[in-house]
Structure 1
Amino acid sequence: MKIQTEYFNQQYNARAMIPDHPYVFTRWLKDSAQVRRTQAALFDLAYGEASGERLDFFPTYRGDAPLLVFIHGGWWRSLDKSDFSFVAPAYTHAGFNVALTNYTLAPDATIAEIVLQQVRALAWLYRHAEAYDFDPQRIVVAGHSAGAHLAAMMMAAVWPAFGDDLPPDLVKAAILMSGIYDLEPVRYADFVNVDLKLGEREVDFLSPARMPQASAAPFLIAVGALESEEFRRQTGLLEQSWRAGHRMQVPLPEANHLTICDAFAQPGHPLCEASIELISSLK
């Protein structure tokens, strides 16, 4: 068990594998602050009662456009939507609205509670489509790391169970980056499970790779070639589990667990272009 714990601690501690991660986070903060100063947006819209149940909305230049919902990572216990404002411009300039969601961070919330918060966020957005002038029939989720897990859980959600007005295919497509889709190994990564407190029961109903997709929504999946074996294995696992919806894995030969977000936000990069093409394909 000790060897297993050491292995998973090493495999999943992405920051420890990226010596310049403080620089990356600082750059994200600066770029995001610049975006919030220069681009029209609505900040801290309440989608629920908890202080963490807030989202930012970046409108595009045309009405009735698709909505891209980005869910941030940080092992469900760190970071904030405002750290990722920098992802919005590439997509608003392409003609899509962008929402960035927050959630209550662990250990103040369990992963199950965080999942339900994201359900509330997407349901709130769907119900407020007219007010914010986007097309509720073209909602796309994207997520990074723990956020990719949450985005995948939105693809597995049985939406009518959360409201008679919610369609089964509320999520029309997804972009999943460097995600954790089977939580079993996280139980043994004690550097993070000290806060998450995952047990066998939680793993069973919180692992998207162990569930069917709720609809045949298409999705792109991506993982950096410089990431650990486990993050790359997790990506392959979901590809195999959700073959019907899987469209492509975008090759990222020079990306690590953090710079994949830069690729997603960079116009002209294959990951950004594939994401724009996927959203544009929705009718």
Structure 2
Amino acid sequence: MDRETLDRLYNNRAAVPNHQQDIDRWEAASRLTRERALCRLDLPYGAHPRESFDLFTTAEPNRPLLVFIHGGYWQALDKSWFSFVADGFTMPAAGGLANVAVLNYPLAPEADMDRIVASIRRALVWLWREAAPLGFDPNRIYVTGHSAGGHLTAIAALTDWTAQDGAAPVDLVKGGVAISGLYDLLPIRSCYLNDRLRMTGPVAIRNSPQFMLPFHHGGLPPLAFAVGSDETAAFHGQQHDFVKAYAERGGQVTEVTAPGMHHFSIVHELARPDSQIRSALAAMMR
């Protein structure tokens, strides 16, 4: 595709003219969550100012941990806008199913894609190591993320964790849900987004889950993949191609198309108790 077409297909704000309503809803819901939840904010997992997370906990000890990675095309947004995700897991009304860590990570253009991916891996190893004092089960860590966070969720599923930390289990990540994810970064390199990301071809390839699969050794964790019915063809195509490749490599796959949802509204499905996305995560955790 030419750049004009790619720019259109990956420009979610242009595709959803009223996107600000959803962003405002994220922020308002998150403020309310922080007011009523058991939480610890701005906990560091690394040296960079954005290497931090907010932890939302259940009333019960030793529950699983769900790690949420926000989107923003690797160059925008903040964890504080997504506290509401915890509502679907930590609250008594949600069965106190799991603790939730909402991550920040360094952003482009300050950080390149290699550094962003390294930061997410560092966060997950740090959380695994610190599970006991933080009060969750280190053997039940799950990951979910939206858009760029969906890409980073897939990266986490494909990471060789023993190469990150010799003491870490191969299956440090037990499963997850990638929402509106990006699994092949070559189209991203060819559109307006790369003006700030500045990926070269080799950087795009080595950080694309689609191209990591043939070189992945060992078992793949179960993953669910979700996209909104009203998202652009680019996101449906990205999910279709990666789901096919993941299943062909032996991965257990659940695929969800959320009816009536676009790129911004679909995030709220994590907090809705009866949504297919939340149910997919709950089934893995149980």
Give the alignment's TM-score, normalised by structure 2: 0.94
Q: For 1:111-260, list aligned pairs within 5 A.
A: 111-190=113-192, 192-212=193-213, 213=216, 215-243=219-247, 244-260=250-266
Aligned to 1:277: 283
Distance 1:197 1:41 in 2: 36
CA contact (8 A) 2:158 2:220 kept: no
1:103 paired residue among 102, 105, 124: 105
Distance 2:3 2:252 in 1: 31
Shift of 1:27: 1.1
SS in 2 for 1:198: coil
Q: For 1:70-81, list aligned pairs within 5 A.
A: 70-81=68-79
SS in 2 for 1:58: strand
Distance 1:251 1:201 in 2: 31
Shift of 1:44: 0.7
Distance 1:172 1:50 in 2: 27
Distance 1:124 1:18 in 2: 37
Aligned to 2:62: 64
**Coordinate RMSD, CA, aligned:** 1.1
Shift of 1:271: 1.9
**Corresponding pairs, count:** 277
Shift of 1:38: 1.2
Distance 1:203 1:24 in 2: 30
Unpaired segments ≥5 residues, structure 2: none
SS in 1 for 2:17: coil
Deviations 1:150-179 (A, max 9, x none): 111111111111111111110000101000
CA contact (8 A) 1:210 1:241 kept: no
CA contact (8 A) 1:45 1:55 kept: yes
Q: Which amino acid aligns with 1:76?
A: W
Shift of 1:248: 1.3
Shift of 1:56: 0.7
Distance 1:250 1:240 in 2: 14
Q: Which amino acid aligns with 1:138?
A: R
Shift of 1:251: 2.7
Deviations 1:220-259 (A, max 9, x none): 1011110111100000111111112232112312111111
SS in 2 for 1:211: helix
Distance 1:112 1:241 in 2: 23
Aligned to 2:29: 31
Q: Which amino acid aligns with 1:237?
A: D
Give the alignment's TM-score, normalised by structure 1: 0.95
CA contact (8 A) 1:160 1:168 kept: yes
Distance 2:51 2:274 in 1: 33
SS in 2 for 1:274: helix
Shift of 1:66: 0.6
Structure 1 consecutive aligned stretches of length 4 or more whose deviation exceeds 3 Å = none
Shift of 1:205: 0.3
Shift of 1:9: 0.3
Q: Which amino acid aligns with 2:232?
A: S
SS in 1 for 2:2: helix
2:267 paired residue among 244, 251, 261: 261
SS in 1 for 2:174: strand
Shift of 1:40: 1.2
CA contact (8 A) 1:32 1:82 kept: yes
